[in-house]
Structure 1
Amino acid sequence: MQFACRQKVLFRHCDPAGIVFYPRYFEMLNDCVETFFDECIGWPFETVHKEAAVPTASISVDFTTPSHHGDLLEFNLMVVRLGTASMALEFRATCGEELRLKGGSTLVYVGPGGRPQPWPRTVRDAMADKKWGTQ
């Protein structure tokens, strides 16, 4: 199962040539992750970050085709592994049928002291209930 969210490419995402400036994709990907935690896990970042955090420990992206101002991108996210304190994600962004980027990232759940700790049971249960691609 995949989670999908859409993002229209806005003026603020673009460089002077009118194409997405690559760091803006990372912001869009983070928006997708934040929306996933809110809508699918039921654990919005504004709640998570009161006592803990879910930083990105690694990220890798291949940019396949430029996106332009006004394009409607669909970001698809899939959880491919849920570890004790980490989560591996794969993602793709398309515009219509055209692939714009693909990649993956690892998120880590850290407690108030900034050290990794096991995911709360509610997160594990939400993953199991929805079968978000976890192995």
Structure 2
Amino acid sequence: MFVHRRDVQIQWGDCDPANIVYYPRYFEMFDDSTSIMFEAAGFPKQDIVRKYGLVGIPMVDTRAKFHIASTHGDWITIESRVESFKRSSFEVTHRVFKAEALAIEAFETRVLVGRHPDDPARLKSAPVPAEIIARFMQG
């Protein structure tokens, strides 16, 4: 299974007045981590959209469990992986480590979408290409 890790330093603007990361900032980091993971696997988002005629890969569900807070100047490691694929959707897990400790567990469901063939003003789910599934599942 393909796993991507990246180190992120917490910035002043990530924090609330108590100097703790404001939780929506983590979801921005997770969104970036998914895009960066796909690029590291050889599938930059712009290429996927163009090659497969997609509009995007929106998030349709997300949640997180917060175990340890981070503050300005801390370094965290975000470990991202695709846990499973369905016909047009996939599940992503992000695990955030502060030093060696698990700080956050986050989960996303994303769907590949393109234009509806009968009405270009509407969106329609698109199947996940086999080459993407193979790359993420083999590692």
Judge same fold: TM > 0.5, yes or no: yes
Matched residue, 2:110: 107
Matched residue, 2:119: none
Q: Scaled by the length of structure 2, what TM-score is found?
A: 0.84
Is contact 2:69-2:103 (8 Å) kept? Answer: yes
Q: Could you tell me the percent identity over the aligned residues?
A: 27
1:73 shift after superposition: 0.8
Deviates more, 1:118-127 or 1:11-20: 118-127
- Residue type matched to 1:46 in 2? Q
Alignment of 1:1-135 (within 5 A): 1=1, 2-40=3-41, 42-50=42-50, 51-52=53-54, 53-113=56-116, 114-130=123-139
1:49 shift after superposition: 4.1
Q: Which runs of 5+ in 1 are unaligned?
A: 131-135
The runs of at least 4 aligned residues of structure 1 exceeding 3 Å deviation read 48-51
Question: What is the count of residue pairs matched by the alignment?
Answer: 129
- Residue type matched to 1:108 in 2? V
The one-character-per-residue Cα deviations of 1:37-58 (angstroms, maximum 9, x if unpaired) are 1011x12123334542111111
Give 1 or 2 for the bigger CA radius of gyration.
2
Alignment RMSD, CA only? 1.6
Distance 1:98 1:83 in 2: 31
- Residue type matched to 2:105 in 1? K
Q: Which runs of 5+ in 2 are unaligned?
A: 117-122
Which structure dedicates a bigger proportion of its chain to strand? 2
Is contact 2:4-2:40 (8 Å) kept? Answer: no
Distance 1:19 1:48 in 2: 36
Q: Scaled by the length of structure 1, what TM-score is found?
A: 0.86
Distance 2:64 2:103 in 1: 10
- Residue type matched to 1:116 in 2? S
- Residue type matched to 1:25 in 2? Y
- Residue type matched to 2:127 in 1? P
